[in-house]
Structure 1
Amino acid sequence: MTSSDLALLPGWLDPSVLIGNMGSWAVLGILLIIFAECGILIGFFLPGDTLLFIAGLLVATSHNGGAGIDINLGLFIGLLALAAFIGNMVGYGIGYKVGPAVFKRPDAKFLKPEYIEKSSAFFAKYGKITIVLARFVPIIRTVATVMAGASRMDPKIYTLYSAIGGVLWVGVVTVAGYFLGQIEFIRDNVDLIVILAVVVVVCAGAVPALLHWFQRRKASGTAGA
């Protein structure tokens, strides 16, 4: 979340302010925020990426003798990953329990039944990579987990890839804050950098599929001629 983005939000949503106001309860407070953003729809506005990044920076500051968050980095990442995982499982449960009832009304203008059908087909085909990459995109990581539940994505597959995504997201962003937090440009553009990285990964993964598609079209055209 960039400085301009934070300026549009209430001051208390600034990660530095949030952590500062928590005092000695900072670790617990950060865990609860990560849980809420990953699993409860009303937590979509919380600054998860920036919070993890600033938290990593403050752990590094403490380890260097300054005022920060005094906790072992590995333990902190483990606790954060657990909070993110539990949040996702709660979000999946909410979607699984409530989703079908919300989408089944045939006269609905916005939450139409066909949306859940399309969502089910999507998660059946792309659910694994979606659950992992959605972790790195604000708002999407909150909505995707609920939609996975509403779409009845296989619970075992969801649980596995939710855990993988949680560890990757928390580990990458927090460690980046620990080692790169002193660089002003990176600190002020965390969300943008994370989203660009996800776009690069998605594009890189799409290249082989596109090449295969062009080869099939070319072969089909040659056969037709």
Structure 2
Amino acid sequence: MEHFESWKDLLNPEFYIKMGGFWLILFIIFAETGLFVGFFLPGDSLLFVSGIYAVEIVKETFGGTGSNLLDTTILATAVAVAAVIGNEIGYWFGLKAGPALYKKEDSFLFKKKYLFQAHDFFEQHGALAVIMARFLPIVRTFTPIVAGIVKMDKTRFLIDNIIGAFLWSFSLIFAGHYLDALFKTQFDIDLKSHLEMIIIIIVLITTVPIIAKFFFGKKKEEVKQDADISK
């Protein structure tokens, strides 16, 4: 079992997999939205790396099925269910206590600006935001809360929640599993030996859209303000 050595371990998906395996992975995915404090946890990279270790994870937990496809499907399904439950709790919290969050002071575990970003994302994309947010760090943590705040239809939210959770879980976990197999057979490269580079690439892919949106959105706002002043 892994032991905590530094804060860098908290950003390393492999650390969680080796420390707690199947059940810790599910808890982290649940916490990202169900406890809305997991926005700093490695969600996307955790799923991709979990796909690489999928057979080992399921074997250590349940003894394995003897089928790589079935083992990977079991892991992806369990993660999707945890993600659905987390979002439903986030929605319920937004429905009951969401408005009070706009008055809450910032803390280490809560940043009001993320709530506003999720709200803008939800307003821009409507019901599809619940599905799309799954693939965006930070935004996926607060989108279900915003959906609850704006009183999105419960049935519509549940459907979008399920679709988004399964798309997110299966795409990333299966990508990790089968890309690892592909690189081993075609290029004799073990992705487990290059996890740091893989994590950096995933972080860049998932965060660049958010950074770009923030940067260009800020520039657009500045241009608008200058135009208003000139009038």
TM-score normalised by L of structure 1: 0.66
Closer, same or farther: CA 13–192 of 1 in aligned 2, 3 Å: closer
Q: Output the CA distance in 2 between the equivalents of 1:193 and 1:60.
A: 26
Q: Output the CA distance in 1 between the equivalents of 2:144 and 2:138.
A: 10
Q: How does 1:128-207 map to 2 (within 5 A)?
A: 128-181=127-180, 182-183=190-191, 184=194, 185-194=197-206
Give 2:30's aligned residue: 35
Give 1:215's aligned residue: none
Give 1:45's aligned residue: 40
Greater Rg by CA: 1
Q: Secondary structure at the match of 2:53?
A: helix
Q: Output the CA distance in 2 between the equivalents of 1:14 and 1:125.
A: 32
Closer, same or farther: CA 179–61 of 1 in aligned 2, 3 Å: farther
Closer, same or farther: CA 56–69 of 1 in aligned 2, 3 Å: farther
Count of residue pairs brought into register by the alignment: 178
Q: Output the CA distance in 2 between the equivalents of 1:14 and 1:187.
A: 8
Q: Output the CA distance in 1 between the equivalents of 2:53 and 2:38.
A: 23
How far off its partner does 1:192 sit?
Answer: 2.4
The percentage of aligned residue pairs carrying the same residue is: 34
User: What RMSD, in angstroms, separates the aligned Cα atoms of the two structures?
Assistant: 3.5
Unaligned segments of structure 1, at least 5 residues: 1-7, 200-225
Q: Which amino acid aligns with 2:201?
A: N
Q: Which amino acid aligns with 1:42?
A: V
Q: Output the CA distance in 2 between the equivalents of 1:154 and 1:124.
A: 15
Unaligned segments of structure 2, at least 5 residues: 1-5, 65-70, 105-110, 181-189, 211-231
Q: Secondary structure at the match of 1:189?
A: helix
Q: Secondary structure at the match of 1:41?
A: coil
Give 1:82's aligned residue: 81
Q: Output the CA distance in 1 between the equivalents of 2:202 and 2:62.
A: 20
Closer, same or farther: CA 93–128 of 1 in aligned 2, 3 Å: same
Q: Secondary structure at the match of 2:151?
A: coil
Closer, same or farther: CA 161–125 of 1 in aligned 2, 3 Å: same
Q: Secondary structure at the match of 1:162?
A: helix
Equivalent pair of 2:54/2:72 in contact (CA under 8 Å): yes
Equivalent pair of 2:87/2:144 in contact (CA under 8 Å): yes
Q: Output the CA distance in 2 between the equivalents of 1:57 and 1:69.
A: 17
Closer, same or farther: CA 61–104 of 1 in aligned 2, 3 Å: closer
Give 1:57's aligned residue: 52
Q: Secondary structure at the match of 1:174?
A: helix
Q: Secondary structure at the match of 2:37?
A: helix
Give 1:94's aligned residue: 93
